[in-house]
A and B are shown apart, each in its own frame.
Chain A
Amino acid sequence: MHLPAPVRQALTRRAFLGRSASGLGSLALAALLDGEGRGATGGALPRLHFAPTAKRVIWLFMSGGPSHLDLFDPKPRLARLQGKELPESVRGNERFSANTLRQGKLLIAGSPFSFARHGRSGAELSELLPHTARVADDLAFVRGMQTDSINHDPAVTFLLTGALLPGRPTVGAWVSYGLGSLNRNFPEFIVLLSGSGGQPLRARFWGQGFLPSNHQGVPLRPAGDPVLYASNPPGISHANRRRLLDGLHELNRLHHDATGDPEVAARIGAYEMAFRMQASVPGLTDLSKEPDRVLAAYGAEPGKSSFANNCLLARRLAERDVRFVQLLHRDWDHHADLPGGLRAQCRLTDRPAAALVKDLKARGLLDETLVVWGGEFGRTPFAQGKLEPGRFGRDHHARAFTVWLAGGGVKPGLTLGKTDEFGFHVVEDPVHVHDLQATILRCLGIDHTKLTYRSQGRDFRLTDVGGKVVTKLLR
């Protein structure tokens, strides 16, 4: 019996029982095999909710909680009150970590670093960020950030997934799910890791939660295969892989013709993209062909694993239209020797982050690329442990911290929000983590209340039941 294709399709067990989660299943076989050209593959949103101001996002996540008080939010009064106890009126009923509770006295610690105003915008920045200072007019500093947890794992999980408990998709996965890919040679959500020591990283910080696995972040590795298993096994050359794939496709096509199952067409498409990735990924991660002046601007060294290399890679990924690039840099958790720790981390990150902004701008990419810099929380105005000048530490602080954004429709040269004289509470323009997430989605043209996925019987979204777009941040 010969049935029309749609009927045959409906009769396959998979089409009948399953839902196609790949997003590719509905595309015709021919469309998947139309060669190597660039082209977007669609996301779950049939159309954007707003005109987007950003096509892509580069998120420089600083794991551990960089001190806002020593980098972005100067508090001269802390130095005047050095060694005094934090007033009860400021402290209020705030929850502190077990470390802080154990130490009893909360002795105020001024920043040992000097601040100055920079650029036409007059942004105030610490002496630890000389390179960031030079691009200050391109950045928007959000001094009123607030989060819901004072411990690393839940706070990172909250910043990246909108929930304190693990299991939800990360921002990059949501964006990949909603918008799909801008290109056909790379995954749409790529992850770059750097730093050692400090808090451990977890695969769920770039995970897809309950979304299908094609939305998970793909880490590019500094050594070996940049993408896991991208190299053919020993003894299978590129040319022979091509021949074997041709044979594989021929057999899959016969199967497709016999069953009409659209998933078979999707399979052929996935294998072709895998083959393209095998060819395109090694060239992408090879920094040795970058001009010396570019390498020097970032402080990048080909073949090394560093935040600087990752910032340069992020620019290359933006050029190749990768939708979401998530950098994770470790070791900002300065419970002890905060001055030494901050000096070390700023040496590793200040120049490359600023170089990335400058480079994107010079190439005309900054307008359409949203760059986000920040950690999961800030740090306390009082010292943790002994208040030894030059060697003291600060504990986690959730009630106020600073992030900066650049490009992608964000107002440049802006400092938004204000904290009290202790940098403890936000007193003007608070921006909750859900607000930041809503704003990032807004730049991409997405209404954060309308990007949802049904799991366990309810529709979930990145911003849970919160989030307001911070319109003051937008152009």
Chain B
Amino acid sequence: VRPYQPPGLWEQVAVGGAYSSQTYVQSRGPDLYRRGVYTYWKRSLPHPALVAFDAPTRELCTVTRPRTNTPLQALVLLNDPTFVEAARALAQRTLRDGGADDTARLTYAFRLCTGRRPTSAELRVLTRVLHGQLRHYRAHPGAARALVAVGEFPRPAGVDVGVLAAWTAVGNLLLNLDETITRG
């Protein structure tokens, strides 16, 4: 499958013409959400998100994948549409299934990401961030619409865009927690 990928990457290294895999045609629908193992492997230029996370090049046997922690990985997890969209999907699920109030919802979303309940100190931080984001996106409806428009995953009808955007931003934060990225 071929998930979101910035345009022009293959073309920059391609020889063009009749060879296969010279232009990237992105997948649609469920194929956007397969595990990375199903991502199309172009040997001369693997998907950049996989490369950023130490995907072995498959040129040598790799017994242990190095464990790294780099700024480029941060940029992928913060800004790659795949993960921005995942944050929105997390927000939508939280708003639907997470309970009635902010505390219940934050606890629900935090548990989905880390597998444990937030401590009271963590909950205080999350609540403050959420309220800040709600204020921000109520004041900036254009930004809210732009953020929730990222990705092809369906948006529920009748949801307050400002609320969804704020929860998407919080989802983006949760998906970038060290504890979410690396199970300790």
Contacts and interface: CB of A to CB of B under 8 A. Distances in A.
Interface in A227-242: 227-237, 240-241
Interface of A is mostly: loop
Given A22-B69, A207-B57, A263 B178 contact: yes
Interface string A209-231: 11111101010010111011111
A200 B178 contact: no
B59 interface: yes
Which of A197, A201, A209, A248 counts the most chain B CB atoms within 10 A? A248
Contact of B126 (A216, A241, A251): A251
A310 interface: no
B39 to A, nearest CB: 15
B51 A274 contact: no
B74 A231 contact: no
Nearest to B53: A213
Interface in A255-289: 255, 259, 261, 263-264, 266-267, 270-271, 273-274, 277-278
A274 B59 contact: no
A12 B184 contact: yes
A202 B68 contact: no
B6 interface: yes
A296 interface: no
A224 B7 contact: yes
Nearest to B85: A233
A214 B66 CA distance: 10
A18 B8 CA distance: 37
B169 interface: yes
A184 to B, nearest CB: 10
Interface in B10-69: 12-16, 43-46, 48, 51-54, 57, 59-63, 66-69
Contacts of A251: 122, 125-126, 173, 177
Nearest to A207: B57
Contacts of B122: 251, 254
B44 A203 contact: yes
Contacts of B51: 203, 213, 216
A273 B184 contact: no
A167 interface: yes
A240 B71 contact: no
A212 B81 CA distance: 25
A396 B121 CA distance: 66
B132 interface: yes
B66 A212 contact: yes
A120 interface: no
Contacts of B165: 235
Contacts of B63: 456
Contact of A235 (B43, B148, B179): B148
B126 A200 contact: no
A343 interface: no
A22 B70 contact: yes
Nearest to B75: A229
A228 B57 CA distance: 19
A193 interface: yes
A456 B52 contact: no
B89 interface: no
Given A193-B12, A213-B54, A250-B125, A277 B143 contact: no
B144 interface: yes
A401 to B, nearest CB: 23
Interface in A157-189: 165-167, 187
A214 B70 contact: yes
A24 B143 CA distance: 35
A167 B75 contact: no
Contact of A248 (B14, B70, B177): B177
B59 to A, nearest CB: 4
A271 B62 contact: no
Interface string A85-126: 000000000000000000000000000000000000000000
B115 to A, nearest CB: 13
Nearest to A263: B69
B6 A225 contact: yes
Contacts of A218: 72
Interface of A: 12-14, 18-22, 24-25, 165-167, 187, 193, 196-204, 207, 209-214, 216, 218, 221, 223-225, 227-237, 240-241, 243-244, 247-248, 250-252, 254-255, 259, 261, 263-264, 266-267, 270-271, 273-274, 277-278, 456
17 contacts: A21-B67, A22-B70, A167-B57, A213-B53, A221-B12, A224-B6, A228-B6, A229-B76, A233-B79, A236-B169, A236-B172, A247-B129, A255-B177, A261-B184, A263-B69, A266-B69, A273-B71
Query: Which 8 pairs of residues, A with B, have the shortest CB-CB distance?
Result: A235-B147, A235-B146, A167-B60, A274-B74, A234-B146, A247-B129, A274-B71, A167-B59
Given A22-B70, A247-B126, A270-B70, 9 more contacts: A14-B67, A165-B59, A212-B66, A214-B72, A227-B72, A228-B6, A229-B48, A230-B79, A236-B143
